[in-house]
Copies of this chain bind each other. A is one copy, B any other.
Amino acid sequence: MTRSTGSEDGIRVAVSTVILTMRRDGTLRQSQGSAPRIALPLVRRTRDPHAGAWALPGGWLDAHEGLAAAAARTLAETTGLAPSYLEQLYAFGAVDRSPSRVISVVYWALLREDLVDQQLAAHRAAGEEIENVAWFDASALPDLAFDHADIIEYALWRLRNKAGYSRVAQGFLPPEFTLADLREAYETILGRRLDPANFRRQVDATRTLIPTNAFRTGSHRPARLYRDATDVELADRGPLAPEETRTS
């Protein structure tokens, strides 16, 4: 077995996070139309390689921190965000993905739009500046550094795929939501309209939603609010212990 003698092999480990939310406002860069969009924050690089290009939030792994902790820490440091759901996506390690040899362990995360706004408002209130960050419509991305365009494409594929067999779409919604909210989240993820009656039947069949006694009123007829039946994670990760994301 070939053995390197240590880390003078020049291989470095970075972490990055694709953090997705669903936004319905018009503040996204390069976005058109008013339907809700899958959106994500990108960070403008201030140094080479790829100075000036947009990149995923991330940074170097510290020798004394776990991978998920590093993802959470670098996400907080660059964007001020703390996700409600964080899962490892993939380790990207093509030899030519960076001028030096960098293995990027990439996480993906979901965050509700109202928490995005809440978290960013808290930073503003504390006088903390989040610089060089902008939110983009996932379907209208700018030029990206490294292989980050491929990474985001893969994360969106994973989200669409996972929406088919897990409750991951609820990661975009507050604890109480209407069936129309839930259908809209699925429609935004899948990029197509769903028949309301069929959607309701499918949701009923899963028996994972509990009707509350509350209704949303407004310009439409009152819509019942539902909440999730379980407190378990949004997707089954099997025997993989939830990774420690506490940053030391």
Contacts and interface: CB of A to CB of B under 8 A. Distances in A.
Interface residues of A, number: 44
Contacts of A2: 59-60, 62, 74, 77
Contacts of A95: 64-66
A53 interface: no
Contacts of A161: 238
Contacts of A1: 59-60, 74, 77-78
A94 interface: yes
Interface stretch (A8-16, A113-121, A180-188): A8-16
A3 B3 CA distance: 27
A146 to B, nearest CB: 15
Given A13-B11, A239-B150, A239-B154, A93 B66 contact: yes
A158 interface: yes
Interface of A: 1-4, 6-13, 59-67, 74, 77-78, 88, 90-91, 93-95, 101, 103, 105, 150, 153-154, 157-158, 161, 165, 238-241
